[in-house]
């Protein structure tokens, strides 16, 4: 099926919220990882989200280009082409864009969508994320409101973050941030919804102790009840409304914690670290088992069948696809592909 339209994506989010499941949002960096996500979604009979970060987009463009915007455009066009061959719905997102990267990442992509719409073509992406969590709340909401107005004019969803997701991702390190910043207050969630909801469709990544990366049990203390209390504050301040919530930094979370967030309004969960490992693990095994074939040792010629990249990238694609299926099952989206919507 094609990448969903703005109205179709809005319907997907509405149904997920109503039925208490979430769409897994998989970060990708290459056509191989896109193929793995599509295969996994197909096997799980789940709709889902493909997204790319600033670092992933730059990598996607290649060492000879190193352009976040160009890499993101190439990724979106590839997904649009290949998704036609699958019977699940996918949406396209960009991931964390900090203020310093707006000019080189999100703004050129919004401009490209505007250009395509003027030519009668579909939007490039379905949604963009602005991560202004390093700013004061007032400055964060001010910039988010400015971006949301522009996004709404092209039927784009804007994802925003308040509070701070700990850990490190794509060179943005928040491991030194005080623990109190890892927990968004109900008052800040209500202020965010009050400021942004009237301007267009948006999604809120509130923080409740979540951290990028994988940590041993006990190192990360999640408090999903923060989302519950925040939704209650939003409802009280905004006439019974609720926000569409996003779960960042979910690697290593327990199933109980994940399901609690779904009941509190999470409709999208970002997945990156776990699928990175699932992709790389089969490659490592292939190299260890076939070291004398992938290397020309002691004057030998090696074994083309084992150093042909296809021999190990197929295994990597399958390994990541299997992890995609598990994510869909964890988020209750498996078996719920909506068909043509």
Choosing from 77, 87, 95, 292, the catalytic residue is: 95
DSSP-assigned letter for residue 212: S
Contact 202, 238 (CB under 8 A): no
The one-character DSSP state at 182 is: G
Which two structure tokens, joined as six digits, stand for 273?
A: 């670290």
Q: What phi and psi, each to the nearest 5 degrees, are found at residue 172?
A: -95, 105
Please give the full DSSP string across 251-301, using - where no structure is assigned. Answer: TT--HHHHHHHHHTTEEEEEE-HHHHHHHHHHHHHHHHHTHHHHS--TT--
Closest CA to 93 of 123, 68, 129: 129
- Rounded to 10 degrees, the C-alpha dihedral 227/232/236/240 comes to 100
Residues 6+ apart with CB under 8 A from 163: 133, 181, 182, 183, 184, 188, 206, 207
CA dist., res. 33 & res. 317, Å (int): 7
Which of 229-232's residues contact partners 24+ apart within 8 Å by CB, and which partners? 229/186, 230/184, 230/185, 230/186, 230/188, 230/189, 230/190, 230/206, 231/189, 231/264, 231/265, 232/186
- E strands, 143-289, are 157-162, 168-169, 172-173, 202-206, 245-247, 266-271
Torsional sign, CA 182, 186, 190, 195: negative
d(CA 90, CA 23): 10
Q: Is 95 a catalytic residue?
A: yes
| SS3 state of residue 46 | coil
Annotated catalytic residues are 95
């Amino acid at each position: 099926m094609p990448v969903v339209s703005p109205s179709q994506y809005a319907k997907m989010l509405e149904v997920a919220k109503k039925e208490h499941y979430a769409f897994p949002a998989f970060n990708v960096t290459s056509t191989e990882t896109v193929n793995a996500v599509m295969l996994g979604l197909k096997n799980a009979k789940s709709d889902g989200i493909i997204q790319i970060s600033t670092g992933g987009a730059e990598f996607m463009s290649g060492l000879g280009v190193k352009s976040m915007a160009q890499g993101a455009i190439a990724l979106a066009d590839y997904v649009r082409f290949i998704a036609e061959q699958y019977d699940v719905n996918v949406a396209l997102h960009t991931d964390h864009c900090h203020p310093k990267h707006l000019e080189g990442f999100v703004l050129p992509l919004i401009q490209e969508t505007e250009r395509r719409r003027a030519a009668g073509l579909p939007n490039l992406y379905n949604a963009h994320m602005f991560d202004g969590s390093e700013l004061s709340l007032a400055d964060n909401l001010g910039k988010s409101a400015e971006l949301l107005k522009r996004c709404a004019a092209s039927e784009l969803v804007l994802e925003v973050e308040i509070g701070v997701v700990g850990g490190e991702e794509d060179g943005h390190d928040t491991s030194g941030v005080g623990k109190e910043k890892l927990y968004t207050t109900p008052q800040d969630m209500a202020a965010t919804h009050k400021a942004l909801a009237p301007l267009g469709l948006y999604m809120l990544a509130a923080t409740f102790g979540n951290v990028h990366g994988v940590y041993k049990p006990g190192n990360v203390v999640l408090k999903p009840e923060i989302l519950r209390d925040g939704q209650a504050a939003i409802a009280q301040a905004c006439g019974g409304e609720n926000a569409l919530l996003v779960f960042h930094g979910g690697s290593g979370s327990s199933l109980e914690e994940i399901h609690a967030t779904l009941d509190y309004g999470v409709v999208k969960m970002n997945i990156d670290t776990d699928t990175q490992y699932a992709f790389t693990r089969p490659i490592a095994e292939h190299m260890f088992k076939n070291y004398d074939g992938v290397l020309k040792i002691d004057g030998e010629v090696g074994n083309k069948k084992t150093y042909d990249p296809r021999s190990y990238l197929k295994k990597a694609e399958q390994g990541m696809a299997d992890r995609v299926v598990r994510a869909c099952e964890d988020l209750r989206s498996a078996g719920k592909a909506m068909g043509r919507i």
